[in-house]
Amino acid sequence: MANPLYDGLFGIHAGNVAPFLQLTDGRVISYRDFLASSAQIANLTAEIGLNPGDRIAAQVEKSPQALALYAACAQAGLVFLPLNTAYTVDELSYFIENSGAALIVCDARSEKSLTHVAQQQGARLETLNADGTGTLPDLARAMPESFATVDRGGDDLAALLYTSGTTGRSKGAMLTQTNLLSNAQALVGKWGFTADDVLLHALPIFHTHGLFVATNVTLAAGSSMIFMPKFDLDQVIASLPGATAMMGVPTFYTRLLDDPRFTRELVSHMRLFVSGSAPLLAETHLQFEQRTGHRILERYGMTETNMNTSNPYDGERRAGTVGFALPGVELKITNPDTGETLPDGEVGQIEVRGPNVFKGYWQMPEKTAAELREDGFFITGDLGRIDEDGYLHIVGRNKDLIISGGYNIYPKEIELVLDDQPGVLESAVIGVPHPDFGETVLGVIVPENGATPDTDAMMEAVRGSLARFKHPRKLVVLDELPRNTMGKVQKNILRAQYQKMFAG
């Protein structure tokens, strides 16, 4: 039966002594040594009684060992659940309980606060720190450096990623081996990656972009990565001369453009710059091309589908568009009310079908049925149009989802915290344009009659309950919220009213 994901991304490098990870401290980890360490972790998971299909929830800092944990899950047939390092214990409790995780891996700093969560779930808890220390690597070190890869099929789950919606709890997107492998192979072909490439990797690896795009593409091509713990402007500028490609979010590129050291000469040898996870402003496109001579390649994907479209590698990369459907991916624009396909030029909802599209939402059959059609087309919730040349333009979302710096933010979750504060009658949370993050969070507060809400105290409450990327950049107090005749809050009016608040 074999194991498509492990065989296609990792197993092909057995015995390969070429560099895989180049670390900022000067160390270089070969493919062979990386696979030996991941096999040790795979052996440990078997030793402690984990079985194929079990979930491993990991809230850990970016490190070679964290990446090896992902490889170990693939080899042992386990389902990898990476979690944002900014999530609070309250947020983690839901993900761990909902997924039924059998093993929780966290930073030692979080061990005490997560012990109770693990005990409630009946899960084992191990630690892994940013410097590679912790109980997980300590235990794995005593294990053999080879592991008999577990047989899995292409339709078996490989990962579980939680994604925000506009109603209800976060949903666990079930990604199969085929979903991940097919998308990596398609991107290698479309973007021209080879074993000669060196990718500058400054993205987090708890997110689709850093893990299933950047890392999987590198593995599929046999390339090397300059593996940075996070985006650090000085380190990126120092490392660019050793790279051939870079993947980033718009914030990376705006920060580079703000630095006079970022010059045409610095990147004259580079082959490719890719941007995603949030819309790239046309102004940023233009400034980047004028400064460097390179035109950023923008693409479009989401948690449930991996990558759907890409601007061409060879051909015109159009600012404000996300290009064409990837090989094997079908895309259409439909009427949200009838589901009928619309002609090119008309705006409608974007639907996609292909080997990249997820299996459904974990333990949410009704949500799955509502968004994944019987014929395999997934209703993305994004609104778009296809122009006369076939390029896809994303014009908005038919959900109130906020995407800030590449992270999905669910407004209702923030509104519940704000509504619970003293003196607040109701609230509305919206996304407004931001030059660095694409969008940022704005909270609109309506006070109770005669009350004067303490916005500083409200922000403190938000900080205690929610991850930092969900915090409103500002709170605005209004007498009332705009509503339609049915009493529904018209967030589109609020977005229009405050769209220039953070411009410039």
Q: Note the pLDDT tens digit of each residue in 88-115.
A: 898 899 999 999 999 999 999 999 999 9
Measured CA to CA, the distance from residue 464 to residue 93 in angstroms comes to 15
Dihedral class, residue 306 (left if φ above 0, else alpha if ψ from -120 to 50, else beta) = left
Cβ-contact 235, 243 below 8 angstroms? no
Strands 378-386 and 348-353: what pairing?
Answer: antiparallel
How far apart (Å, rounded) are the C-alpha atoms in residues 302 and 310? Answer: 13
Q: Would you say residue 399 has pLDDT above 90?
A: no
For the chain, give the percent of residues with pLDDT over 70: 97
Q: Which two tokens stand for residue 25?
A: 């401290």
Among the ranges given (32-41, 291-300, 489-498), the one the predictor scored with the smallest mean pLDDT: 489-498
Q: Which of 98, 52, 74 is nearest to 8 (CA)?
A: 74
Return all residues near 80 (Cβ < 8 A) that are at least 6 apart. Answer: 56, 58, 69, 70, 73, 74, 158, 159, 160
The three-point CA angle 157-220-204 to 5° equals 70
Which residues contact residue 404 at a Cβ distance below 8 angstroms, ignoring those fewer than 6 apart? Answer: 278, 431, 434, 437, 438, 439, 440, 441, 469
CA dist list (Å): 181 to 178, 218, 358: 5, 12, 12
* Residues 6 or more apart in contact with residue 434 via CB below 8 angstroms: 404, 440, 473, 502
Residue ranges covered by each domain of the chain = 4-17+30-153, 192-295, 402-497
Residue 448 DSSP one-character state? P
Residue 467: half-sphere exposure toward Cβ, Cα within 13 Å: 18
Give me the mean pLDDT over the 316-322 stretch.
Answer: 92
Contact criterion met (CB below 8 Å) for 351 and 377 = yes
Residue 228: which of 201, 263, 258, 196 has the closest Cα? 201
- Tell me the average pLDDT across 479-489: 70
Q: 406 pLDDT band (50/70/90 cuts)?
A: confident
Average the pLDDT over 470-495 and give the result: 82
Quick: pLDDT tens for 158-180. Answer: 999 998 544 457 899 999 999 99
Nearest residue to 249 via CA among 291, 213, 221, 225: 213
Say which CATH architecture domain 402-497 belongs to. Answer: 2-Layer Sandwich (3.30)
Nearest to 106 by CA among 155, 60, 54: 60
Class of domain 4-17+30-153: alpha beta
Backbone angles phi, psi at 140, to 5 degrees: -70, -30
Q: At what angle do helices 111-121 and 89-99 cross, to 10 degrees?
A: 30
Looking at residue 61, what is its pLDDT?
A: 97
Helical axes 411-419 vs 455-465, angle rounded to 10°? 130
- Rounded Cα gap, residues 39 and 37, in angstroms: 5
Question: Hey, is 39 helix, strand or coil?
Answer: helix
Whether 487 has a pLDDT exceeding 60, the answer reads no
339: left (phi over 0), alpha (psi -120 to 50) or beta: left
Q: Is the pLDDT of residue 485 over 80?
A: no
Tell whether the model's pLDDT for residue 280 goes beyond 70: yes
Helix (H, G, I), strand (E, B) or coil at 45: helix
DSSP string, 142-163: TS-S---PPP--TTSEEEEEEE
- pLDDT at position 165 is 46
Q: Which residues of 8-25 are buried (b: 16+ CB within 10 A; e: fewer)?
A: bbbbebeebeebbbbeee
What is the share, in percent, of the chain residues with pLDDT greater than 90? 79
pLDDT of the residue at 154 = 97
Q: What does the alpha-carbon distance between residue 98 and residue 166 come to, in Å, rounded to a whole number? A: 18
For residue 429, the model assigns a pLDDT of 92
Structure pTM?
A: 0.83
Same fold, 4-17+30-153 and 192-295: yes
What's the average model confidence in pLDDT over 407-431? 86
Between these two residues, 392 and 283, which has the higher pLDDT value? 392
Q: With a cut of 70, say whether residue 450 has pLDDT above it.
A: yes
Answer whether residue 276 shows pLDDT above 70: yes
* Position 486 confidence tier, pLDDT thresholds 50, 70, 90: very low
Three-state SS sequence of 210-279: HHHHHHHHHHHHCCEEEECCCCCHHHHHHHHHHCCEEEECHHHHHHHHCCCCCCCCCCCCCCEEEECCCC
Q: Above 80 in pLDDT, residue 1?
A: no
| Residue 188 pLDDT | 98
Q: What is the mean pLDDT of residues 190-210?
A: 96
**Helix H or strand E segment including 99:** helix 89-99
Could you tell me which of 372, 5, 364, 380 has the C-alpha nearest to residue 179?
Answer: 5
* Mean pLDDT on 4-10: 97
How does strand 124-127 pair with strand 55-59? unpaired
CA 287 to the chain's CA centroid: 26
Instruction: State the average pLDDT for the chain.
Output: 93
Span between the terminal Cα atoms of the chain, in Å: 56
Q: What is the pLDDT of residues 32-91, one digit of tens each?
A: 999 999 999 999 999 999 999 999 999 999 999 999 999 999 999 999 999 999 888 988
Neighbours of 124 (CB within 10 A): 16
pLDDT confidence tier of residue 409, bands split at 50, 70 and 90:
confident
User: What mean pLDDT is predicted for residues 318-322?
Assistant: 91
Question: Using an 8 Å Cβ cutoff, are 291 and 261 in contact?
Answer: no
Determine the CATH number of domain 192-295.
3.40.50.980
Tell whether the model's pLDDT for residue 495 goes beyond 50. Answer: yes
Three-state SS for 318?
coil
pLDDT at 394: 87
